[in-house]
A and B are shown apart, each in its own frame.
Chain A
Amino acid sequence: MLDHLASIGTRAGDHRPFPRFDLDREAWAALVATLAEKPDWSLVGLWADTGIVHMALREDASGAVAVVSLACPEGRFPSVGGVRPAAIRLERAVQDLFGVTAESLVDPRPWLDHDAWPIRLPLSADPPDPLGHPEPYPFLPVEGPGLHQIPVGPVHAGIIEPGHFRFTCNGETVVRLEQRLGYVHKGTEWLMAGRSVAEVAKLSARVSGDSTVAHSLAFARAVESATGAAVPARAVWLRALMAELERLANHLGDIGAICNDAAFAYMLAECGLLREKVLRAADACFGHRLMMDRVIPGGVAADLADDGRQLLARLVTDLREAFPPLIHTYDEKASLQDRTVATGRVATELVRRFGAGGHVGRASGRGQDARRSPGYAPYDELDFEVPVFADGDVNARVWIRIREVEASLGLVRQILDRLPEGPVHAPVPAAAGQGMALVESFRGEIMTWVAVREDGIVTRCHPRDPSWFQWPLLEAAIEGNIVADFPLCNKSFNCSYSGHDL
């Protein structure tokens, strides 16, 4: 892939650690055609900057990652959505925010822009006035005898983020689900542009609260790549420790919540207790239950004391004792299995086409994990399994989480045993550059791209949450299932609204 990109474009100098190639319009269009023939070149991200559009790709087999860029002074570029459907929503977002149009985009409806902002095209060089006459959002038409629609949200029945789901049903069976998102759009990328690295780090920590460590880490590593910063070894290991604690807390919470949606509240009670233990340990060790703002560019903001180390060692022992009986319960209860097995199936072919990762991808046979490929320290020195299942149903997504809880417990233990001594932070050098990082959150791969000026101002930052590639698959997962199984499917995905809407 890299050879091919080098042959059709010119390598840009200041992009790290993955190469970036400037393409012209013809080369971009040719690349789109090539993508149709190269199913294993998966989309990693697509975003814009003033007058330019970027796309990140990965060759699945070799793990090579690269960015390609197209200057589009006329504000148009050939759409990628036709050959990589995961790009469609990203292209719609680029249109809403930058006014850069994806030509022949199959679905050109607005996405994040609900016509409620005081400006239009907020990230474009010259934002025009708002339209001022909001029209109803045109949902896709559905016709047929016996079909009816159930609109749900944006405010849902539970303690959950807002979004709109439009179910078309035939009796109890869902024929089609259409999502409408964007309700929690906070203009985060607009706020990030033109602020200091420290300020953007705080915003990064709030892209999606449940993956605050992972998003902070992705931003920090992107900045460190851009500026050539060296991170002290102890900080690198502490980051992994925090990331694994975050993974544990989320998976434990989700396993309980999924079972609860199958009317099995016992698991929620037990898993909720374990989750709480993890959060309290994190609080005691790092001063914040979610460890927000603890990973910062250049290192970490909190060191682990010796008693913290003992506390975490006890936590691992505790969880290793308490967790297996719960797995046993999950596995042996027919009333639970009856709801989760064969429910909400996503085909392997589909997760590949969407480049979906995390538990959604791994439950459907796509074994991508950023900790392994492209990989980052200290995971190259650690021993852990990346579980992969093939069934693609709710049950498989639960099992991925179970196996990942076990793997994370092993990782925490190894990190505690081998944590190097030394400082936990080093200043970020004053250097300009563009950087990118891929980080595995509990939900899947986060891509963060950043451009930093020499004076430490971030001119553009684009965090791409894994939810972007998972939300569309939820639409597919529910098809042919009954309405009552939607909460179960939804929870087994647990896509982020905030991370997607930004």
Chain B
Amino acid sequence: MLKTIVRNLLRGPVTMKGPAPAEAGIEELASRLDRAARARLGRSLSIREVDAGSCNGCELEIHALNNVIYDLERFGMRFVASPRHADVLMVTGPVTANMRDALFRTWDATPDPKWVVAVGGCALDGGLFKGSYGIVGGVGSVVPVDLHIPGCPPRPIDLLAGLVALVEAAK
């Protein structure tokens, strides 16, 4: 183990360079984030992830943000365990009827100012599950959404670009 650690230290970081913020994301955000948010946010964000009905594909890629390649924390962003600690709710999945209350209550428990990032095709409008009795629709049908990151699932790089855009726009 020590050998590997030493080798890794000598090799230097494996993290990839941070992506440029996505233009579309900035535009979408700029119109939604008000001046108060710009003043308050700075370059630090606590994110609470909520699976509101996903197939778990989106979760896998959100997890990847924490690996040593993407290493989200170097952007000042980290995942937290409670909505009470969060600035951002990152929500996946078509919101199922069985998760509607839990999602709303998680959002309600998150202190203001707060932002909601909807991740994946399902979270936009239900995706392939549209029309089912089991879902109530996209995340926006239960809580207000500030940014949508498309993909099924979005690649970690797209998630990162979306989050960087969120911070840049809020500066």
Contacts and interface: CB of A to CB of B under 8 A. Distances in A.
A329 interface: yes
B96 A186 contact: yes
B61 interface: yes
B163 to A, nearest CB: 14
A15 interface: no
Nearest to A211: B56
Nearest to B99: A183
Contacts of B97: 114, 116-118, 185
Contacts, number: 145
A116 B57 CA distance: 25
A210 B53 CA distance: 14
Interface string A15-28: 00000000000000
Nearest to B121: A206
A interface majority secondary structure:
loop
B56 A161 contact: yes
Interface string B61-86: 11110111100000000010111000
B134 A117 contact: yes
Contact of B55 (A119, A207, A272): A207
B46 interface: no
A182 B98 contact: yes
A133 B55 CA distance: 29
B98 A183 contact: yes
A273 B5 CA distance: 14
Contacts of B52: 162
Contact of A206 (B51, B57, B68, B131): B57
A272 B62 CA distance: 13
Interface in B7-52: 14, 49-52
B57 A210 contact: yes
B3 to A, nearest CB: 7
Nearest to B4: A325
Interface in A252-296: 253, 266, 269-270, 272-273, 275-276, 279, 283, 289-290, 292
A275 B62 CA distance: 14
Contacts of B49: 158-159
A466 to B, nearest CB: 14
B148 interface: no
B170 interface: no
A208 B56 contact: yes
A106 to B, nearest CB: 24
Contacts of B153: 209, 290
A184 B99 contact: yes
B57 A184 contact: no
A159 B63 contact: yes
Interface in A313-329: 325, 328-329
21 contacts: A122-B134, A154-B102, A158-B79, A159-B59, A159-B63, A162-B50, A162-B102, A182-B98, A184-B51, A185-B96, A185-B98, A185-B134, A186-B96, A186-B135, A191-B128, A191-B131, A210-B56, A275-B64, A275-B67, A276-B69, A279-B64
